[in-house]
């Protein structure tokens, strides 16, 4: 006689917070546990393991972990065999504390050690609690299974991880560690594999992706090599730092047709005083000069950025300088955040700007950025763009995908297929997306 075992494969529920790299990591963790017999599920009630992939960037983001864990209590009581894991940047920063405070957590794994998940899972099944927040000497990518069936024609590809920039407000250098670039040969292999599974568009990811440097390759040379991979028609990259926008990368925007006319280049503030306090190591003018060169190479490029308001010491005048920079640039889209003091960062030692003042600045900056975004979308009406279809739309005869400029586009196209790259004409700008019709 054997012990009663649950029928069928074990089920894994993953919840992902944070940046695109966390999305990529979640896919790879699912593949890694998939190799030990887990299949994905999208309900907690159904799951044998719940994995929360966390983000530490702002206080609100990391608090979500603790409210999620609280909500998991009844599920764990109903199913004592349910295993609960915490991954990502909060796991890295606060792993020990999570283990201490949250007895329902079985497993904590940092962003650089998740290739060890299968072995940790086995220990957890044996009744242990497992924690691994090392920065291990081996490369996790060498120990992960090959990419499996992809969800559509677009995919992320992590090419670089970690950050050596140490902006005064930011936890990423501590949670992701030092800058490391993956070897180009491995990336070309992963890209060919993805292309063979129907992927046509790759977004190259890195915390500082344009600091990519490996085996004589910089990011521009890597992009040119990936552009030659059979089946890969579109490339994007993010996130980049203004100080690493080198000449050959800017040139690639002009002469590499596979590189899409889209650039996310965070500046954070338009005030030189604040940029200095943030340890950004560039001025507002340095940034604007980089954008001039990028626009000279690719005049139709869509620019996006990140901004922080209410950084310690930010005056009305500093904030005005940020608004003025935004007006000068004209962004297609941008994110703005209220400064959040993060434990262990140098800026956390400084007195905060009054919270109500920061809230008011956030509203003002968001109003300006949304107006620019709307204007940019309206300017697309009547123009022809190429859309890579990612899925069928909600209306019959409709396909949904992204344009070169990463605008979401709803296309009337009754015969359209997922994975098709279609020429369309934009007919209207609706909230956060464009409507279009297929051209013959």
Question: Which of 318, 347, 27, 21 is CA-nearest to residue 169?
Answer: 347
C-beta of 211: minimal distance to ligand F3S in Å? 15
Helices (H) and strands (E) in the chain, counts: 12, 21
**Residue 207 binds to ligand SF4 (criterion: CB under 6 A):** yes
204-233 residues near ligand SAH, rule: CB under 6 A = 207-208
Instruction: Name which of ligand SF4, ligand F3S, ligand SAH, none residue 199 binds, using a CB cut-off of 5 to 8 Å depending on partner kind.
Output: none
Q: Is omega for the bond preceding 239 within 30 degrees of 0, making it cis?
A: yes
d(CA 429, CA 83): 46
Longest dimension (CA), the chain: 77
User: What x/- string results for residues 24 through 63 when contact with ligand F3S is judged by CB under 6 A?
Assistant: -------------------------------xxx------
Residues belonging to the chain:
440
Among 20, 24, 31, 58, contact with ligand SAH (rule: CB under 6 A): 58
**Residue 163 binds to ligand SF4 (criterion: CB under 6 A):** yes
Interacting span for ligand F3S (CB under 6 A) from 17-25, 287-295, 316-324, 390-398: 17-25
DSSP state of 210: G
C-beta of 51: minimal distance to ligand F3S in Å? 14
Q: Burial, 224: exposed, middle or buried (Cβ in 10 Å; 0-12, 13-18, 19+)?
A: middle
Interacting span for ligand SAH (CB under 6 A) from 28-36, 85-93, 166-174, 229-237: 166-174
d(CA 389, CA 411): 9
Rounded to the nearest 10°, the torsion over CA 277, 278, 281, 282 is -90
d(CA 201, CA 301): 18
Phi, psi of 39 (to 5 degrees): -115, 150
Residue appearing with tokens 């970690």: 162
Among 170, 194, 222, 284, contact with ligand SF4 (rule: CB under 6 A): 170
Among 11, 18, 105, 236, contact with ligand F3S (rule: CB under 6 A): 18
173-202 residues near ligand F3S, rule: CB under 6 A = 175-176
Among 31, 139, 244, 306, contact with ligand SAH (rule: CB under 6 A): 306
d(CA 38, CA 387): 35
C-beta of 65: minimal distance to ligand F3S in Å? 11
**Residue 88 binds to ligand F3S (criterion: CB under 6 A):** yes
Instruction: Name which of ligand F3S, ligand SF4, ligand SAH, none residue 56 binds, using a CB cut-off of 5 to 8 Å depending on partner kind.
Output: ligand F3S
Q: Which long-range contacts (CB under 8 A, 24 or more apart) does 58-67 make?
A: 58/337, 58/340, 58/342, 59/340, 59/341, 59/342, 60/340, 61/17, 61/18, 62/90, 62/93, 62/94, 64/17, 65/17, 65/90, 65/98, 66/102
**Residue 264 binds to ligand SF4 (criterion: CB under 6 A):** no
DSSP codes of every residue in 143-185: GSPPP---SSSEEEEE-EE------TT--HHHHT-S-EE--HH
Question: Which of 434, 376, 432, 433 is CA-nearest to residue 424?
Answer: 434
Instruction: Name which of ligand F3S, ligand SF4, ligand SAH, none residue 166 binds, using a CB cut-off of 5 to 8 Å depending on partner kind.
Output: ligand SF4
d(CA 182, CA 305): 25
Q: Burial, 135: exposed, middle or buried (Cβ in 10 Å; 0-12, 13-18, 19+)?
A: middle
Instruction: Name which of ligand SF4, ligand SAH, ligand F3S, none residue 342 binds, using a CB cut-off of 5 to 8 Å depending on partner kind.
Output: ligand SAH
Question: Which of 95, 274, 16, 33 is CA-nearest to residue 169?
Answer: 274
Instruction: Name which of ligand SF4, ligand SAH, ligand F3S, none residue 340 binds, using a CB cut-off of 5 to 8 Å depending on partner kind.
Output: ligand SAH
Interacting span for ligand F3S (CB under 6 A) from 16-24, 98-106, 123-131, 427-435: 16-24
Interacting span for ligand SAH (CB under 6 A) from 110-118, 145-153, 336-344, 364-372: 336-344
**Residue 402 binds to ligand F3S (criterion: CB under 6 A):** no
**Residue 21 binds to ligand F3S (criterion: CB under 6 A):** yes
**Residue 167 binds to ligand SF4 (criterion: CB under 6 A):** yes
232-251 residues near ligand SAH, rule: CB under 6 A = 239, 241
**Residue 92 binds to ligand SAH (criterion: CB under 6 A):** no
Among 266, 270, 312, 376, contact with ligand SAH (rule: CB under 6 A): 266
d(CA 237, CA 211): 12
Query: Which residues are at the interface with ligand F3S (CB under 6 A)?
Result: 18-19, 21-22, 55-57, 88-89, 171-172, 175-176, 207
List of residues contacting ligand SAH (CB under 6 A) = 57-58, 169-170, 172, 207-208, 239, 241, 266, 268, 306, 308, 337, 339-340, 342
């Amino acid at each position: 006689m054997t012990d009663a075992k649950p029928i069928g494969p074990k089920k894994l529920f993953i919840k992902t917070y944070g940046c695109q790299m966390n999305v990529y990591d979640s896919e790879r963790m699912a593949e890694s546990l998939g190799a030990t017999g887990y299949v994905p599920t999208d309900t907690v009630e159904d799951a044998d393991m719940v994995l929360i992939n966390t983000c530490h960037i702002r206080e609100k983001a990391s608090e979500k972990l603790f409210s999620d864990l609280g909500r998991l209590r009844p599920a764990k009581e109903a199913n004592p065999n349910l295993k609960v894991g915490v991954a990502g940047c909060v796991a890295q920063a606060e792993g020990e504390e999570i283990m201490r405070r949250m007895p329902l957590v079985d497993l904590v794994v940092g962003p650089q050690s998740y290739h060890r998940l299968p072995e940790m899972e086995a220990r957890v099944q044996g009744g242990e609690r497992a924690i691994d927040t090392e920065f291990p000497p081996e490369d996790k990518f060498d120990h992960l299974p090959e990419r499996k069936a992809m969800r559509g024609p677009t995919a992320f590809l992590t090419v670089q991880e970690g950050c050596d920039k140490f902006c005064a407000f930011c936890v990423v250098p501590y949670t992701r560690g030092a800058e490391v670039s993956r070897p180009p040969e491995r990336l070309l292999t992963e890209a060919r594999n993805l292309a063979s599974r129907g992927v046509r568009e790759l977004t190259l990811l890195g915390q500082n992706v344009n600091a990519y440097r490996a085996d004589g390759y910089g990011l521009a040379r890597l992009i040119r090599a990936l552009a030659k991979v059979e089946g890969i028609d579109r490339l994007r990259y993010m996130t980049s730092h203004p100080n690493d926008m080198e000449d050959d990368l800017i040139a690639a925007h002009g002469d590499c047709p596979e590189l899409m006319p889209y650039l996310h280049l965070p500046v954070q503030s338009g005030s030189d005083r604040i940029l200095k306090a943030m340890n950004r190591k560039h001025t507002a003018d340095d940034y604007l000069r980089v954008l001039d060169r990028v626009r000279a190479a690719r005049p139709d490029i869509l620019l996006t950025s990140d901004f922080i308001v209410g950084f310690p010491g930010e005056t009305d005048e500093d904030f005005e300088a940020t608004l003025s920079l935004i007006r000068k640039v004209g962004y297609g889209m941008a994110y703005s955040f209220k400064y959040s003091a993060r434990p262990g960062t140098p800026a956390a030692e400084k007195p905060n700007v009054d919270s109500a003042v920061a809230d008011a600045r956030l509203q003002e900056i968001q109003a300006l950025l949304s107006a620019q975004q709307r204007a940019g979308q309206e300017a697309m009406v009547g123009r022809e763009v190429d859309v890579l279809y990612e899925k069928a739309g909600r209306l019959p005869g409709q396909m949904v995908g992204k344009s070169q400029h990463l605008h979401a586009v709803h296309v009337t196209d009754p015969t359209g297929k997922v994975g098709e790259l279609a020429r369309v004409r934009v007919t209207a700008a609706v909230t956060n997306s464009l409507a279009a019709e297929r051209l013959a």
